[in-house]
Structure 1
Amino acid sequence: MALTPSELALIEKHQRDLESRAHTDELLLRYYLGAQRVEHLGMAIPPNLRRFMVIANWCRTFVDTKNARQQVRSLILPGEETADPKLRAIWDASNLSAHTSMFNVDRMVYGRAFMSVGANEKDKSLPLVRVESPREMSAFVDPRTEVITSACRLYGATDEDLSPKLVTLLQPDATVWAAKDQGVWVETSRDEHRLGSVPVVMHLNRRRSGSWSGESELTDLIPLVDAATRSLTNMQFAQEAHGIPGIWATGVTKGDFVDAQGKPVPQFEAYFDVIKILSDKDSKWGQFSAADLKNFETALKVYGTQASTVTGFPARYWGITSTNPPTEGAIHADEANLTRGIEADNEQVGMTLGWVAALALRFATDTWVDGNRVRVDFFDPATPTVSQREDALAKRRAAGVLSREGYWDELGWSEARKAKEREYLARERAEEVDPYLALVREKGEVDRAASEPAVVG
């Protein structure tokens, strides 16, 4: 079956949407990688000295720090209170712990991120969930129902030819694969799945009402990164040019700066050996003051303070530290804005991941989740110490407001870990009721240890 005119037009529309974002996407990626180009410097540095440029890669620090604190703990079906083992199996089979990390980087860098769900030919009960590159994926949304009407992945570009060679068009009832042949899209495969929903979920970062485009988390930080980069580069150039004090001398000629063979002495050697070189009693020399680089340090602290303001991060993330290390409580208080910001992000990201999980269950079970909403729980994004967390949980448990199972949930134990602990507790209770069982078990362990061969170091 060949592509219909409407499908061809839809592919071209998606391709134009991607092309309109390509320049901005490339710029944002370069800032995340610390490979951006700073066009204007504070002083006129010759092109051959541009190698002194130092990138203050605060963008990667910002994104990776937030990403590291967004760890999914469990997936829970509507009306349930415990993690669903089926959802966990799908999560593990698709290695979504790593994929979710990529998803978070995409949404924070580009302002949008995509996840797709597809059938697994080897095991239908474990559908394939993948993160799609925002630089290859485009999606259109019905503004009334807020449902994706079509999505398109254009890929296969090379360094020699940046235009895509392959395309996957995803629609509610069919997925079409096509390849470009002599400049024309030609269908290669088609799946009439009749799902009734596009198997792609799109997340828009910082979306505003009336808009279906996201915003990068780096928007506010980029101008400060440029400013810090200029200061660091200027400081390094100033250090090279003026960090070593200049020397002046009078009553000397070029002939004084030669070696025993009459060859000119290198400038660096002459700088350190000037006292030895000046043999004329009427010659004089002196030293200029070295450049004071303190102003660059002050400028960088100003930029770091502003970066802390616009991101909500503690100032120490931008190199502003105190002499004495902060205490546990001070660290927790200092990260209050950072923690609350990540909790707000988790609410949005959790909603998107919940839709993905519901879509995956549809592929696995052929039925939709009631309400099409899976609840996603995250680990605490703050950085409490083990003693702080255990102390708080022990107090809740003692007050009777937290169950044993709830205690385990707060510790982040997996279902397998909790099942093993239940087994241990059941064994302990049985031994308390019948001490003979404990003696039998202890003797069995001793006999097993005696039968094992000794290991010679």
Structure 2
Amino acid sequence: MALTPSDLELITELKQRLDARFLVDDRNLRYYRLMQRVEQLGMAIPPEMRRFLVVANWPRVVVRTIAGRQKVRAMILPGEETVDPTLRAIWDANNLSAHTKMYRRDKLIYGRGFISVGANERDRRLPIIRVESPREVEAMVDSRTEQMTAAARFYGKDKTGQGPTNVTLYVPGRTSWVAKNADGRWYEVDRDEHGEPIPLVMGLNERLSGGFHGESELTDIIGLTDSVARSLTNLQFAQEAHGIPGIWATGVAQGDFVDANGEPLSQFEAYYDVIKMLSNKDAKWGQFTPADLKNFETALNIYGKQAAVSYGFPARYFGITTSNPPAEGAIRADENDLVNYVEDKNEAEGMELGWMGALALRFATGTWVDGNRVRVDYFDPGTPTFAQRADALTKMRSVGGISREGMWDELGWSEARKAKERQYLEEEAEAARTDPTLDRIAEGLLNAGAGLGE
């Protein structure tokens, strides 16, 4: 089936937009994967030293640190306070605990991420949710309504490795599957007239007003990564050239450095055998002072501190440590900026995943969620110890400030873990009703523990 001129124009424009991002996307991915090419190694490093290039993968540290603290606790419908079982089933069926990690990494590396929602032919109650590669998807958004007006996914390659050969075109109310024929023209293979908004969610990292464009989280770290690479490569060069102290000798000749057969010794053997080889009583030898490499450590610490300032990370994330490990309270204080930063990320991502949840429920139930919003709760992005949490929750529980279920939520228990604990409590209560001696035994153990505490 031939495509309409407007569809062809959309595909062309979206492909041009995607191609315009290629170089920047490729650079960011190379830095994340430690495959970048450092263009300028500095004046002190000869060109042949490029093969000894040493790179610290700080871009991956940035992405892992932020994404690793973003953990979804529950998806809750408007007006409810507990996790929705339908959303939980959809989440588990699509393995979204793992897939949302890919989504976050995409946003942090490329500045944008995409999630698609589609019908499941095998089980309508569990729609298919997938993370789409930002390097394959491009979208248009109406700036007034903030609704997606068109999107396309480009994929597939021919026998010669050229592509794309296929396009999935999204417009409001319709999804078209498009392929390229033998003469290089696009034609429609199939379509789905679903009458719904585009079933695609786009997330943007560090979006500014005035447009729908994201920014890679690696922007601030790329220059510092190159600087660190130069320092580390210089350090390696200095170790080779000046780290081992040189030895000088006078009153000797080249012929003195031979083996028992009169064959000349290698430079390495002559270097270490110079003391034994000097037979001339007037010969003298000495040792040059080796280079002090402390300045490289100072330079690396400067770069690490600058990286920590740029992202609000504790300096230890970039290799700056102290001899004494920080105490629990110091860790929380040191991570304050990082925690606030991750909470901002969670707030933006929560809106994106909320829209994804609303789309998924639409596919599963045929009805829209009230307000098309699903609330997404996250675990605390900080690093409190279990003892800190348990002590605070116990005190709140003792004054009636929190329920038993609320304590479990704050401890980060999953729904399965809470269901198992409810079962244990019911079994204990039933056992106590049938055998009152268990209560007396438990009371005795508690009294004994109190006595030991005194």
TM-score (norm 2): 0.93
Q: Equivalent residue for 1:357?
A: 357
1:179-218 equivalences in 2 (<5 Å): 179-181=179-181, 182-195=183-196, 197-218=197-218
Cα RMSD of the aligned pairs, angstroms, is 1.8
* Cα deviation, residue 434, structure 1: 4.0
Assess if the C-alpha contact under 8 Å between 1:244 and 1:290 holds in 2: yes
> Partner letter of residue 361 of structure 2?
L
Name the CA distance, whole Å, in 2 between partners of 1:127 and 1:44.
59
Query: Which is further off, 156-165 or 344-353?
Result: 156-165
1:207-228 deviations in whole A, cap 9, x for unaligned? 1110211011111111111111
Aligned to 1:153: 153
Is the alpha carbon distance of 1:237 and 1:158 closer, same or farther for their aligned partners in structure 2, counting shifts above 3 Å? Answer: farther
AA aligned to 1:120 is: N
AA partner of residue 232 (structure 2): L
Q: Which residue of 2 aligns with 1:452?
A: none
- State yes or no: 1:225 paired with 2:225: yes
**Residue 8 of structure 2 aligns to a residue in which SS?**
helix
Task: Give the counterpart letter for 1:361 in structure 2.
Answer: L
The answer to whether the Cα contact below 8 Å between 2:91 and 2:97 also exists between their aligned partners in 1 is: yes
Would the aligned equivalents of 1:431 and 1:437 in 2 still touch at CA under 8 Å?
no
CA-CA distance at 1:2 after TM superposition: 2.0
- For 2:427 and 2:194, the matched residues in 1 are separated by 50
Residue in 2 that maps onto 1:420: 420
Contact 1:43 1:234 in 2 (8 A): no
Partner Cα separation in structure 1 for residue 325 and residue 92 of structure 2: 39
Q: Deviations over 1:286-345 (max 9, x none)?
A: 221111111000000111111110110000111111111111111111111111111111
Deviations 1:18-71 (A, max 9, x none): 100000000001111121111112334333322221111111011101111111
- Are 1:430 and 1:437, in contact at CA under 8 Å, matched by a contact in 2? no
**Helix, strand or coil for the counterpart of 2:29?**
helix
Specify every segment of 5 or more residues in structure 1 that has no aligned partner in the other structure, as ranges: 440-457
**SS of structure 1 residue aligned to 2:219:** coil
Match of 1:375 in 2: 375
Give the letter for the 2:269 counterpart: E
Deviates more, 1:250-259 or 1:31-40: 250-259
Cα shift readout 1:122-159 (whole Å, capped 9, x = no counterpart): 11110010101111110100111000011111112489
List, as ranges, runs of 4+ consecutive aligned residues in structure 1 with deviation greater than 6 Å. 436-439
Equivalent residues in 2 for 1:329-348, closer than 5 Å:
329-348=329-348
Tell me which residue corresponds to 1:303. Answer: 303
Q: How far apart are 1:418 and its partner, in Å?
A: 2.4
Q: What code does the residue aligned with 1:375 have?
A: R
Matched residue type, 2:156: G
Inter-partner Cα distance in structure 1 for 2:349 and 2:161: 35
Task: Report the residue type matching 1:281 in the other structure.
Answer: K
Alignment correspondent of 1:443? none
Deviates more, 1:410-419 or 1:80-89: 410-419
| Contact kept in structure 1, 2:246 and 2:290, CA below 8 Å | yes
How many residues of Structure 1 are paired with residues of Structure 2 in the alignment? Answer: 438
Deviates more, 1:97-106 or 1:270-279: 270-279
Q: Any idea what the Cα deviations from partners look like across 1:326-384, whole Å, max 9, x if unmatched?
A: 11111111111111111111000111000001001111111111100000001111111
Q: How far apart are the structure 2 equivalents of 1:158 and 1:249?
A: 69
Would you say the 8 A contact 2:44–2:234 is kept in 1?
A: no
Task: Report the CA distance between 1:160 and its aligned residue.
Answer: 6.0
